[in-house]
Structure 1
Amino acid sequence: MTITGSTSLPDSTDVLVAGGGPAGAFLACLLARRGFRVLLVEKQATLERTFRGDTVLGPSVVILKQLGFGPALEEHGYIPTERLVIQMEGRKVLDLDYRRFKCGETPIDIPQPALLDIVYRSSAQEPGFQVVFGTTVTELLEENGVVKGAVLRGKGGEKVPVRARLVIGADGRFSRVRKAAGFEAKVTPMDRDVLWFRVPRPEGWAHRTDFFVERDRHVVVMPTFPDGLRIATNLPKKALGAWRQAGLPSVKQIVAQLDPRLGPLMDKHVRSWDDTSFLEIFTAEVDQWARDGLLLIGDASHTVTPILGQGINLALQDAVTLAPVLDTALRRSSGDGTVPAATFADWIAKRRKHKAFVTRFQTRNEASMVATTRLGTWLRRNRYLTMNMTPAKYVLAPKMMSEPFPIDPADVRQVVPV
């Protein structure tokens, strides 16, 4: 069962979080655990989302278990991903065994709606927590340039002002809060976009991620809970219309050429374009993340690409590292209690540095993956082969994912399975 949230809105709250995805849900949960009044609003009417990132990286699994979510994750079930295997032009060039990573946990696949449901159920045990679905921020409440809350519009269309000591924009890559705050995002398109689809997983399929590369064509295959395969293939930027005109059989042929195992599965289960999902790939960097009374987190502050499943990882890091900062700021704020932007300077500097590091890696990787010349593909292949031959791969790869952060005891609760 998925909680649906209250339909009424309060006049005021301590923290108003816009966006019920991983960044907003986790931060709202941790602030509610610390005793603050938190209103979380989500534009979707339910938690049901398809073709979203379902992979939680090993360091984030450690954090989830430290926060008390372990029993609930076990009760729901998930698929551990044991390895990443990359093949280029028919040759295996990288084999990463996640079980050898220092963090001690492998990545897991769990549907994002299920993960969010676990977080929401835990939050609902806290007296100060409230979530309202089907609700969006239409504008900010401001006094002398200071954000004092937001105007919310629900399913009925009525606009309701809600005052808050702090507004958190966690509403994703196309953030309305970011736009309302007057922040500009520098959007950098990647050279390719991605088409996703799912098929049933044959019995005995290995619990690993397979990445097949043939010049500038790529296919990623990931086992997904409980019994499926999540498959992605790249397409040139702005090429979706041409692909649709060419027809779905041509897409299936492209995928099957890289991984023949998928041919019969696609023929049987991918019957129309409705069985696919398109994702535009870009990064978005924002020079300013905060104003007095407002802060952006997650994809709203710095959008990354899907490479290595960084979205949920970065969102959870934002929440865990921000919660103690907000705790101190909310308890010490004077006057009307509005949290000033200067409060977040150190936190923003650290998070910006790490996200910029992730983005640089992803950008370099994207540039490499669109190579089409013989020299370009040879250089790419040999770079991966060289990394695969050295134990340093188990030092370099975890740096992209970041080690688990220390958890403040105030954030920990034992989440009992339903």
Structure 2
Amino acid sequence: MRMIETDVLVIGGGPAGALLFCLLARRGLRATLVERETTAERSFRGETIAARSVVTLRELGFGPALAKHGFVELTGISFWENGERIVRADYRSFPIDALPIDIPQPALIEAFLAAAGGAPRCEVMRATTFLSLVEEDGVVRGAMLKTRDGETLEARGRLVVGADGRFSRTRKASGLEATITPMERDFLWFKLPRPVDWGSEAQLVVERDRHLVILPTFPDLLRVGFNLPKRGFEEIRKRGIDAFRSDIAALDPRLAKLVAAHIQGWQDTSFLEIFTAELREWARDGLVLIGDSSHTATPILGQGVNLAIQDAVLLAPAIAAALSRTANDVVRAAELAEFVAKRRAHKSMVTRFQRAQETSLAESSPLGTWLRRARLRALDLFPLKYRLLDRVLNAPHDMPREAIHVGAV
């Protein structure tokens, strides 16, 4: 059996894992990124980058790569019910010098990996699957891996980073217990051509406890999410695709012709189970979890990718400092305690907001929906509306300045 030696073994090549790998490579650290897919191609994943993360990516030097690919800038978000706009936030009114952008996740990941390319002690292992952790006396020392051609490898490192998503196998193997909280609804996502006069504003279209999330998407598409009752996908399928198209058209007649023309079957949709996962501990000696592996979020306000980006940016200097303190020992959980505490506090704030919004959107009674409209109208008139929303959408994440400048392209 072949043995691999590294300092940091990153499991999962999504936004969190790929960016962390890039930042470690820039610091000259020895790192290995393990990804089970052969390419970065992904469909129906989070593609909205919040303004705060846009600023961070620019400071890290990724601005030219993002501009070269192209993206859609989102100018605002609005909430509609029964054809009436209840509340609107103009992103250009926030005190931050950036707008949220929509860019395909593969382009983001490839930009991170390209920036890490050529680092002498770093390797990307595609088509490689995580099997189990390697442990000795309760300390994580690495992981067992399997390549696409069936070869089993033992990868040894001073730190294993689980960044393998909402159904993380690394988390399950770690023994770190997650509290899984199902939300009341799930989602079906699909994409449609964007009419030329549609604009670039995110919209939430609601009728009682049903809603559509409509997001302008690069290059000229709409990404639409349709909420389902929990475990309601099979019932929707039994009713048939025509009934599904009718449901969409009833919620938003503007989409009727587009849905009729472009949603021909269930293969044109993507199901997303909505839940949150929260861990009391994110780290063990020799192991840390980041991104959806440690704090799965709901799709509300598209925070998953942004939380992942912020995790990676804050973790890289913490890892570098821990590795520099000892020559050969693993990174101890205590050395990452400050990182975990800061990120947990931020994620907890986001989760509280998301759960409150989910509860509001699930209202179906006349009184409940009336109160929802009243609260949102009050928010729309609230003089400090933008300051309140800015705390959630663009919360600063206390990024050390040296985290930006080390190796920025």
Contact 1:34–1:411 under 8 Å retained in 2: no
Residue from 14, 21, 31 that aligns with 1:28: 21
1:17 equivalenced with 2:10 (yes/no)? yes
Residue 375 (structure 2) aligns with: 383
1:120 equivalenced with 2:113 (yes/no)? yes
1:355 equivalenced with 2:347 (yes/no)? yes
Q: Post-superposition, which runs of at least 4 consecutive aligned residues in structure 1 deviate over 6 A?
A: none
Q: CA deviation at 1:367?
A: 0.9
Contact 1:56–1:312 under 8 Å retained in 2: yes
Supply the RMSD in Å over aligned alpha carbons: 1.5
1:82-125 deviations in whole A, cap 9, x for unaligned?
A: 01011123321111110111121111000001111111111114
Structure 1 letter corresponding to 2:339: W
Residue from 179, 194, 199 that aligns with 2:192: 199
Residue from 334, 344, 364 that aligns with 2:336: 344
Structure 2 letter corresponding to 1:219: L
Contact 2:314–2:403 under 8 Å retained in 1: no
Contact 2:313–2:403 under 8 Å retained in 1: no
Contact 1:33–1:123 under 8 Å retained in 2: yes
Q: TM-score if structure 1 supplies the norm length?
A: 0.95
Which moves more between the two structures, 165-174 or 9-18?
Answer: 9-18
Q: CA deviation at 1:158?
A: 1.7
1:328-383 deviations in whole A, cap 9, x for unaligned?
A: 1011025x321111111121111111111111111111111111111100110111
Q: CA deviation at 1:289?
A: 1.1
Q: Alpha carbons of 1:182 and 1:414: their partners in 2 closer, same or farther (altered >3 Å)?
A: closer
Q: Alpha carbons of 1:197 and 1:359: their partners in 2 closer, same or farther (altered >3 Å)?
A: same
Name the CA distance, whole Å, in 2 between partners of 1:138 and 1:60.
32
Which moves more between the two structures, 387-396 or 398-407?
Answer: 398-407
Contact 2:291–2:308 under 8 Å retained in 1: yes
Residue from 18, 38, 41 that aligns with 2:34: 41
1:263-285 deviations in whole A, cap 9, x for unaligned?
A: 10111111010000000000011
1:195-236 deviations in whole A, cap 9, x for unaligned?
A: 000011121220111110110010111111111110111010
Contact 1:138–1:150 under 8 Å retained in 2: yes
Residue 208 (structure 2) aligns with: 215
Which moves more between the two structures, 255-264 or 305-314?
Answer: 255-264
Name the CA distance, whole Å, in 2 between partners of 1:165 and 1:51.
34
Structure 2 letter corresponding to 1:41: V
Q: Alpha carbons of 1:70 and 1:10: their partners in 2 closer, same or farther (altered >3 Å)?
A: farther
1:233 equivalenced with 2:187 (yes/no)? no
Contact 2:12–2:165 under 8 Å retained in 1: yes
Which moves more between the two structures, 346-355 or 184-193?
Answer: 346-355
Q: CA deviation at 1:322?
A: 1.2
Contact 1:67–1:407 under 8 Å retained in 2: no
Name the CA distance, whole Å, in 2 between partners of 1:73 and 1:288.
34
Contact 2:81–2:206 under 8 Å retained in 1: yes
Q: Percent identity at matched positions?
A: 51
Name the CA distance, whole Å, in 2 between partners of 1:119 and 1:48.
14
Name the CA distance, whole Å, in 1 between partners of 2:361 and 2:199.
25
1:11-55 deviations in whole A, cap 9, x for unaligned?
A: 200100001011111111111111101100011221110000110
Q: TM-score if structure 2 supplies the norm length?
A: 0.97
Q: CA deviation at 1:10?
A: 6.5
Contact 1:152–1:159 under 8 Å retained in 2: yes
Residue 149 (structure 2) aligns with: 156
Secondary structure of 2:7 counterpart: strand
Contact 1:90–1:214 under 8 Å retained in 2: no
Name the CA distance, whole Å, in 2 between partners of 1:104 and 1:129.
34
1:244-276 deviations in whole A, cap 9, x for unaligned?
A: 010111111111112111110111111010000
Contact 1:63–1:405 under 8 Å retained in 2: no
1:367 equivalenced with 2:353 (yes/no)? no
Residue from 126, 131, 142 that aligns with 1:138: 131
1:10-409 aligned within 5 A: 11-334=4-327, 336-401=328-393, 402-403=395-396, 405-406=398-399, 408-409=401-402
Name the CA distance, whole Å, in 1 between partners of 2:398 and 2:69.
25
Which moves more between the two structures, 121-130 or 401-410?
Answer: 401-410
Contact 1:63–1:407 under 8 Å retained in 2: no
Which moves more between the two structures, 159-168 or 345-354?
Answer: 345-354
Contact 2:3–2:153 under 8 Å retained in 1: no
Structure 1 letter corresponding to 2:378: T
Q: Alpha carbons of 1:10 and 1:262: their partners in 2 closer, same or farther (altered >3 Å)?
A: farther
1:116-173 deviations in whole A, cap 9, x for unaligned?
A: 1111111114222211111121111111111111111110122100110100001111
Contact 1:99–1:106 under 8 Å retained in 2: yes
Name the CA distance, whole Å, in 2 between partners of 1:408 and 1:139.
36
Contact 1:33–1:410 under 8 Å retained in 2: no
